[in-house]
Chain A
Amino acid sequence: MATSHVDAAHSALAHHFDNMEQQREAGNLGMWVFLAQEVMFFGGLFLVYTLYRSSYPEAFAAASNHLNWKLGAVNTVVLIVSSLTMALAVYFAQTGVRRAQVLFLIVTMILGTTFLVIKAIEYYDKYKDHLIPVAGMFQWEGELPHGVATQHVQMFYWIYFAMTGLHALHMIIGLGIMTWLVYHAWRGRFTPEYHAPVEISGLYWHFVDIVWIFLFPLLYLLGRHVGGGH
């Protein structure tokens, strides 16, 4: 009896899987294990943040109020829109619409790049204001509440650059992955039967979005209610 196309092995099916569904499921699970590790990785940074913020609340509020919350908010919007376009890229991979899939991957990349450009502008502003927390470069020129030490303000900037820097690194890696995806999507490699790479990369991109969802209020908005101004 002739085998239908459903039974025939897909060219992307690895020999150690029974079928495409099992392979897809295993790949997804593997990505989630990686993301669970990422939760621990960023979790450690959030722990450090929580610890020092609870120790030096006034210093952290004063330091945070010097960040540009409007640029932070714009970047939050940019990243959420990019999550939507990534979800749509996955949708069009699942439904097998090649052109829309390529289009939304490219739009996601443009938004990711926009985020990084805005981030770079912010970093440059901090550089001009002598807020790079490296020895000899850091200089706080503003007023500080009584009893607040400059080095605790500097500590906030260490945490700010470490967390946003590692987040930006994740975005750069994501853009690299998407360049690869666009190439293969354009060549028509992803179909309703096989699109695991698009789906898994989507998980990664959404995770990076989640990290920013927490970074934005915790870094940019923490002291606005006590005289943060606009």
Chain B
Amino acid sequence: MSEHIVSKKIYFVIFGALMLGTLLTVLAAFYDMDEKVFHGANTVVALTIAVIKATLVVLYFMHVRYSSRLTWVIVIAGFFWMGIMFALTFSDYWTRPTTSQPKSVSENVEHVR
């Protein structure tokens, strides 16, 4: 398989999309969706835009869309394992019966002050 050269036009289109995403991120951040839509909506919107932007960078600027399947496996595995790290950590913290925060931190509160 020979090298695929991404055209300059595609780079400029992706660049435009990334700038638009940045603008939307800022606008959305100042609009109180937590109050008007649901609690946490601001964070969900910010992260959704960030994930779309990151995906565009990976697929086009980093050429993954035109890369071998082996490259795809490595890329997906990297993010999948990060997902495991988050899922297992939070399955622990969110299911602790007494406290939802690391114990050492809550104990140290008085000492640090």
Contact = CB atoms under 8 A, between A and B. Distances in A.
Interface string A12-36: 0000000001001100110011011
Interface stretch (A105-113, A118-126, A173-181, A206-214): A206-214
A77 B22 contact: yes
Interface residues of B: mostly helix, strand, loop or mixed?
helix
Contacts of B5: 91, 94-95
Interface string B70-90: 110011011101100110011
B100 A55 contact: yes
A24 B62 CA distance: 14
B61 A32 contact: no
Given A47-B86, A213-B50, A221-B46, A24 B29 contact: no
Interface of B: 1-3, 5-6, 8, 11-12, 15, 18-19, 22, 25-26, 29-35, 42-43, 46-47, 49-50, 53-54, 57-58, 61-63, 67-68, 70-71, 74-75, 77-79, 81-82, 85-86, 89-90, 93, 100-102, 105, 109, 112-113
17 contacts: A21-B1, A29-B71, A32-B71, A32-B75, A37-B78, A44-B85, A47-B86, A55-B102, A69-B26, A80-B15, A91-B8, A199-B63, A206-B57, A214-B50, A217-B29, A218-B46, A225-B42
